[in-house]
Chains A and B, each alone.
Chain A
Amino acid sequence: MTTAAMFNGSVQRIQRTPPAYFVFVGLLIVLWLSRPNMLNINIIGIFMRQNAPLGVLVLGQLLVMRVKSIDLSGGGVILLINYFISSGLFPEASLTFFAVLGLTTSTLIGLFNGLMIGKRRVSAVIVTLAVSIILVGLVQFLSSGKPPGDVPTYFNDLYNTKLWVMPSPVVFWIALSLILAGILSSTVFGRFVASVGESGAASHFAGVPVERTIILAHTLAGFITGLAALVQTASIAVGSVRVGLDLPILSVAATILGGVVFGRGEGGVWGPFFGVLSFTFLFVVMTAFGISDPGKLIAQGLIILLAAIFYGVRAAKSD
């Protein structure tokens, strides 16, 4: 192989790498140069634990984005499950009861989203946003706009445990990522997801059950959102009428940064994983440099836009 061919190959590999990896490495370097004392395993573990709910939610988001859809109902689902746990509706209930209740509810909401998007062919953005609006309005109505109450202590106790040196929520997030990566790469459903993401029409003519794949992807995403809601509720340990409302948009941003291209059905699990880590470190760096919340909003918007432009230009070149 000539030097020029090797160079071209390297350039192509770099172009195919999701921006999340570059952003992550860049932020690590900035932290290492400016705040080297922050780069130890305990502090990083704490930062990662804070973002574990987002990390879990991203897994559901990437699944539906792989089939050219989107799920923005996560905010409402997280709020509803937080309300179930903290409102005192089920006094003395066990962790298992809340887990089953929360996961069943979120899975049913995911199924509803899937049926509306896959069967009725309604815009995914509108359906999932409308579902979120309904759930948020309902929870705020039921709690009269005030924080409902306390979360049973066993949630926070579980949240604060560690497995070796890593906090349990982080281990849970990594384990879930591994499982999803396995499902997407080694199962028939995973192949169907890749196929529908590539081309819905071609998949249909090839015998792939397009509607069923979309419905199942949304149902699974609903289940995963339920898991994210349980982790989020355990992390804040109190009832809230605002918790998790910004997570769906952040999950879209992290997923895009991680290489799952919106509306094109590309990408894997680990890119979005590093997308979440990039956002984690971005907020750490911005806080360390004293950048205010509005500045963070601007940075977030710019990152989403630049990542989308990166993919858009790349796709235009390859067409």
Chain B
Amino acid sequence: MKQDFTNLLTGRQSRQGLWFAPLLVAIAIAAYLALSAPHFVGSENLLNLVAQAMPLTITAIGQMFVVVVGGLDLSVGSLISFTTAILALDGPGYLLIPAVLAFAVLVGLINGLAVTRLNVHPIIATLAMQYIVLGVTRTLRPVAGGTVPPVVLKAVNGFVFGVPMPVFWGLLVLLVGWMLLHGSRFGLHLFAVGGGIASGNEQAARNFGIAHKRITLLAYVASACFAALAGVYLAGRIASGDPNVGLGFELDAITAVAIGGTQLSGGIGSLQGTIIGALVLAMLSNGMNLTNVSPFLQTAIKGSILLMVVGLQKRKLIGL
């Protein structure tokens, strides 16, 4: 019993990694904020917190798939900006939403093919894609503006039976993420591919008959699709297209994934950990806003948290 609790706390002997300790940290932060900022526990603020955390949660879940297979996706921020820019082209929603999802699949495929078939390092492939997508976005919409289709606005800001839509978005991504990671063969294979990479044997999963290249490619496609979904949500929130709205999302997503106990070397990670990581970041932002901490200092604090969290994860490999 004691051993089980120790394993849960340290993430040892678990494919899901260190997610319980971040949960305790999240509870501690929530308790501190509830005591120091009375507005924090108000229903309005809590709803605001969920709504604020949603784009990061969605992006982080997508990022987690890539991290579990030992990669990183730096193109998600640009893809979010691109999605808002396309949705603000004053066209019908039934045309624009499939268009952004199709583009996301294309970006994910290019990233995945570059990594798996053309032997390009994930950071370089997705960094190059970040530049290309950002360039296309700024060509389409140099400055913020435009009108988002009413269906998107309703899907993000509306209510169903008195329950605000962000709650349903949360349930939807939770369900899809859970099905993909823990309820499908794809999820199981993700861990097998990533585990092999983390232990220095990239061919390990292949030796067990797993199509490791196809799984890795699909992880990049999933990451891009989740980023596009986050872009749809953000477009609904800001009700316009903004070429810069996604800047920095890739780092926040990586931070959330790392805080949630997913090993950046691959093979270990969990959905609940990633959601906790995103919530911790959202609570910190929300709490610092409520206590009037400078936004610039918030950036430095987030960077320090990222550094501390990754500093705790000692790896076998040195380098990237």
Question: Contact between A129 and B318 (Cβ–Cβ < 8 Å)?
Answer: no
- Residue among A117, A141, A211 with max Cβ neighbours from chain B (10 Å): A141
Q: Which of A68-93 contact B (CB under 8 A)?
A: 68-70
Output the least CB separation between B116 and chain A (Å).
10
A293 touches which one: B138, B254, B316, B317 (CB < 8 A)?
A: B138
Q: In the bound complex, what is the Cα–Cα distance between A124 and B264 (angstroms)?
A: 11
The number of chain B residues with a CB under 8 A from chain A is 50
| CA distance in complex: A309, B121 (Å) | 9
| A31 at interface by CB-CB < 8 Å | no
**Bitwise interface map of B from 100 to 137 toward A, beta carbon under 8 Å scored 1, else 0:** 00000000000000100011110111011111111111
- Tell me if A247 counts as interface (CB < 8 A to partner B): no
Check if B300 is an interface residue, CB within 8 A of chain A: yes
- CB of B124 within 8 A of CB of A117, answer no
Cβ of B139 under 8 Å from chain A: yes
- Within the complex, the shortest CB–CB distance from A265 to chain B, in Å, comes to 9
Residue B289 is within 8 A (CB to CB) of chain A in the complex: no
Chain B neighbourhood of A127, CB < 8 A:
307, 310-311
- Shortest beta-carbon distance, B119 to chain A, in Å? 3
Neighbouring B residues of A221 by C-beta, 8 Å: none
Known: A305-B114, A308-B120, A312-B118. A294 touches B139 (CB 8 A): yes
Name the prevailing secondary structure of the B interface residues.
helix
Chain B window 220-256, contacts with chain A (Cβ cutoff 8 Å), 1 for yes, 0 for no: 0000000000000000000000000000000100100
A204 to B309: give the CA distance in the assembly, Å.
28
Q: Which residues of the partner chain A approach B138 to less than 8 Å between Cβ atoms?
A: 293-294, 297
Which single residue of chain A is at the shortest CB-CB distance from B140? A294
Measured between beta carbons, the chain B residues less than 8 angstroms from A182 are none
* Chain B positions within 8 Å of A121 at CB level: 314-318
Q: Is B36 an interface residue (CB 8 A)?
A: no
**0/1 per residue, B70-99, Cβ < 8 Å to A?**
001000000000000000000000000000
Contact A302 B128 (CB under 8 A): yes
The complex places the Cα of A126 from the Cα of B251 at a distance, in Å, of: 9
**Cα–Cα distance between A201 and B258 once the two chains are bound (Å):** 26
Q: Among the listed B131, B133, B297, which residue makes an inter-chain contact with A304, where contact means beta carbons less than 8 Å apart?
A: B131
CA distance A309 to B110 in the complex (A): 12
Report if A298-B135 is in contact (Cβ < 8 Å); known contacts: A126-B306, A256-B124.
Answer: yes
- Is A294 in contact with B135, judged by CB distance below 8 angstroms? yes
| Most chain A Cβ neighbours within 10 Å, of B300, B306, B317 | B300
Q: Mark A258-277, 1 if CB is under 8 A from B, else 0.
A: 00001100000000000000
> Is the C-beta of A214 less than 8 angstroms from some C-beta in chain B?
yes
A123 within 8 A of B: yes
Residue B45 interfacial (CB < 8 Å)? no
Q: Which residues of B contact A308 (CB under 8 A)?
A: 114, 118, 120-121, 124-125, 128
B304 at the interface (CB under 8 A from A): yes
User: Are A133 and B303 neighbours in the complex by a CB distance under 8 Å?
Assistant: yes
Is B319 in contact with chain A by the CB < 8 A criterion? yes
Q: Which of A132, A133, A292, A304 meets B124, CB within 8 Å? A: A304
* Chain A residues within 8 Å of B303, by CB: 130-134, 137
Interface: A249 (CB within 8 A) = yes
Interface status of A136 (Cβ within 8 A of chain B): yes
Knowing A301-B132, A313-B118 are in contact, say whether A295-B139 is a contact too (CB < 8 A): yes
Cβ–Cβ contact B251 & A129, under 8 A: yes
Residues of B within 8 A of A130 (CB): 303-304, 306-307, 310
**Would you mind naming 27 contact pairs between A and B with Cβ atoms under 8 Å apart?**
A67-B319, A68-B318, A70-B123, A117-B318, A121-B316, A121-B318, A123-B310, A125-B72, A130-B306, A134-B300, A134-B307, A137-B300, A137-B301, A138-B300, A141-B297, A144-B296, A200-B318, A211-B318, A262-B121, A293-B138, A294-B136, A297-B134, A298-B136, A304-B131, A305-B120, A308-B128, A315-B119
| Seed contacts A125-B320, A256-B124, A293-B138; 11 additional CB < 8 Å A-B pairs | A68-B320, A69-B318, A122-B313, A122-B314, A126-B306, A134-B307, A294-B136, A297-B138, A298-B131, A304-B128, A308-B120
4 closest A-B pairs (Cβ-Cβ)?
Answer: A301-B131, A137-B300, A312-B119, A133-B303
